Amino acid sequence: MSDIHCKLLVIGAGPGGYACAIRAGQLGIDTVIVERNKIGGTCLNIGCIPSKALIHAADEFHRIGGSGLHPGMGITAQNPGIDWTKTIAWKDAIVSRLNKGVKSLLKKNAVRHIAGRARFVDGKTVEAETDKGRIVISAQAIVIATGSAPMALEAIPFGGPVMSSAGILSCEQIPQTLSVIGGGYIGLEIGTAFAKLGSAVTIIESEESILPQYDRELVEPVTKMLEKLDVKLLKQHEAIGYSGPDRTLKTIDAEQNESTIAAENVLVAVGRKPSFDGLGLEELALPMNGPFIAIDDRCRTAMNNVYAIGDVTGAPLLAHRATAQGVMVAEIIAGSKRTWNQACIPEICFTDPEIVSVGLSASAAAQQQIETVTGKFPFAANGRALSLGREDGMIRVTARAEDHIIIGIHGVGAGISELSGNFALAIEMGARLEDVAGTIFAHPTLAEAFHEASLDGLDMPLHK
Ligand SMILES: Cc1cc2nc3c(=O)[nH]c(=O)nc-3n(C[C@H](O)[C@H](O)[C@H](O)COP(=O)(O)OP(=O)(O)OC[C@H]3O[C@@H](n4cnc5c(N)ncnc54)[C@H](O)[C@@H]3O)c2cc1C
């Protein structure tokens, strides 16, 4: 006997799960969502939002203190203060405001929220462990949206000064020395922010390059800024141990030389794994895709009426992908004949400068035997970038040689994240280089570099 019966049960209220539940509610589907923690998931509570708030606070502090100002601008400033407790409270207030917003949207759309930990009994039944006891929920369709968790290092377990991204985003004080294990986007975003806040930051990366998924042209401006911020980059190094009493991290390089770094705190950012603990997934014996749940183009698992969305389904582990999958699944359950046919998923690295990657690069296209033309425009020749004192970076457009349809847009530059929507829109709408070239872009804006890169792809650059 079940305590609750519903048409749709969503497990996990991150950007995948809550978006799915809200859309389902809008479509009149009787929906229940179970969340063991705070509504909003990783993204809202301990990921995208708090990290971007602290990155911004760090930018402001760095700029106001003078070191982030363009030397030629004639502005000097000295000794800004930072009340870290207030900064953390400001960040937490943003999180809590969004949190309340999502809660009220669920309510507005008649989604029943159960605070508890869900565990599968079978493919149609879930038990939720709540403060008030166990609730059995049966549903016609179930969506698994339980997200992901940080991977731990056996030799350097989490605890005390050794933190995950969630811990460091709420740390009690700005560490004097911070070692970041992992030169991926999470480690670099947070490492850069703490360097701007005054920590002596060391980044330990086992590969030859930081951000190994991006090409050199995209990564170089970020590396230069890290140098400016005195961030120490230890490439082809591995962290092999941490001593709590003397707060030192031991590393080893490719030649097996060991060294010791002072590290008041350590951020372990070596990747994320799907979150299935206590979920009873074994009851369903679902086929997997590596560690992730295997899904088809409708986010269906191998079990009838059991769907999976978001980080549990693998790369790219991004909030907007989870949301788009969630909305699609709600519409499918409501009877729509939708399939996943997105042309691209934009990826942003909120480093300084920011990196945006949308669609295929020329080399990725070559691997798929697609002949391409590329156009490029540097921010050094863009009036707006110069007037902002940030000429580092560029925008690169990749189009199919046969018909000039744009298949990739990549860029690096201060504030370029705000252009990612334009880039995704161009690719999603099947724009050709000629379409972008024939559009009037407002002057002076950073977006003009996109226009100019498209003109360059057509061999008719105006300002280059
Ligand atoms: C520091 C950091 C920065 C990030 N920055 C960005 C960014 O800028 N842009 C971006 O797109 N992505 C970013 N991400 C990634 C983004 O947070 C994730 O891709 C996104 O949250 C995935 O959404 P989801 O709904 O799949 O899962 P999650 O957001 O992880 O939500 C899953 C939810 O399920 C709940 N849950 C798990 N198991 C159970 C259970 N058994 N019962 C009940 N509830 C359960 C969890 O408590 C959680 O609330 C960042 C991540 C981190 C860590």
Token output for 339: 């399939």
Q: What is the mean pLDDT of residues 352-377?
A: 97
pLDDT above 70 covers what percent of the chain? Answer: 100
The pLDDT of 172-190, averaged and rounded, is: 97
Residue nearest to atom 48 of ligand 1 (CA): 41
Q: Pocket residues for ligand 1 (CB within 6 Å)?
A: 11-17, 34-37, 41-43, 47-48, 51, 117-118, 145-148, 165, 186, 275, 278-279, 310-311, 317-320, 322, 350
**CA–CA dist 328, 320 (Å, integer):** 12
Residue to probe by mutation, ligand 1, list 42, 348, 349, 355, most atoms within 8 Å of CB: 42
Asked if residue 61 lies in contact with residue 80, where contact means CB atoms within 8 angstroms, the answer is yes
Distance 371 CA to ligand 1 centre (A): 37
Nearest CA to ligand 1 atom 38: 146
pLDDT of 296: 98
Q: Which helix (H) or strand (E) holds 406?
A: strand 406-413
Residue 236 above 80 pLDDT?
yes
Rounded Cα distance between 353 and 7, Å, is 46
**In terms of Cα–Cα distance, which of 325, 289, 324, 283 is closest to 303?**
283
- Tell me which residue has its CA closest to atom 8 in ligand 1: 48
pLDDT of residue 464: 82
Instruction: Kindly report the protein residue whose alpha carbon is nearest to atom 26 of ligand 1.
Output: 310
**15 CA: nearest ligand 1 atom:** 25
Question: 3-state DSSP call for residue 106?
Answer: helix
C-beta separation of 317 from 389 below 8 A? no
Give the mean model confidence (pLDDT) for residues 200-219: 95
pLDDT digits (tens, 9 = 90+) for 373-416: 999 999 999 999 999 999 999 999 999 999 999 999 999 999 99
Ligand 1 centre from 13 Cα, in Å? 9
Q: Is 329 exposed, middle or buried (0-12, 13-18, 19+ CB in 10 A)?
A: buried
Q: Is a pLDDT exceeding 60 seen at residue 306?
A: yes
Atom of ligand 1 nearest to the CA of 309: 26
The answer on pLDDT for 2 being more than 70 is no
For residue range 61-94, list pLDDT tens digits in order: 999 998 898 989 999 988 899 999 999 999 999 9
pLDDT given for residue 131 in this prediction: 95
**What is the whole-number distance in angstroms between the Cα of residue 170 and the centre of ligand 1?**
17
Residue pair 78/52 in contact by the 8 Å Cβ criterion: no
Residue 353, preceding peptide bond in cis (omega within 30° of 0): yes
| Confidence at 1, pLDDT banded by 50, 70, 90 | low
Residue 210 to residue 196: CA distance in whole angstroms: 19
- What is the pLDDT at residue 311? 98
Whole-number pLDDT of residue 78: 84
pLDDT digits (tens, 9 = 90+) for 365-379: 999 999 999 999 999
For the record, the structure tokens of 456 come out as 């360059």
φ, ψ of residue 39 to 5 degrees: the values are -60, 140
CA of 282 to the centre of ligand 1 (A): 22
Q: Using one digit for the tens of pLDDT, what is the confidence trace for 108-121?
A: 999 999 999 999 99
pTM higher than the cut 0.95: yes
Q: Which atom of ligand 1 lies closest to the CA of 34?
A: 43
Active site residue 443: yes
- Angle at which helix 48-64 crosses helix 185-196, to 10 degrees, equals 30
Query: Would you state the pLDDT for residue 331?
Result: 98
Distance CA 429, CA 417 (A): 19
* CA separation for the pair 250, 260 (Å, rounded): 5
Cα(92) to ligand 1 centroid in Å equals 17
Q: How far is the CA of 41 from the centre of ligand 1 (A)?
A: 5
Name residue 167's amino acid: G
Probe target for ligand 1 pocket from 39, 146, 272, with the most ligand atoms within 8 Å of CB: 146
pLDDT score, position 316: 97
- One-letter amino acid of 334: A
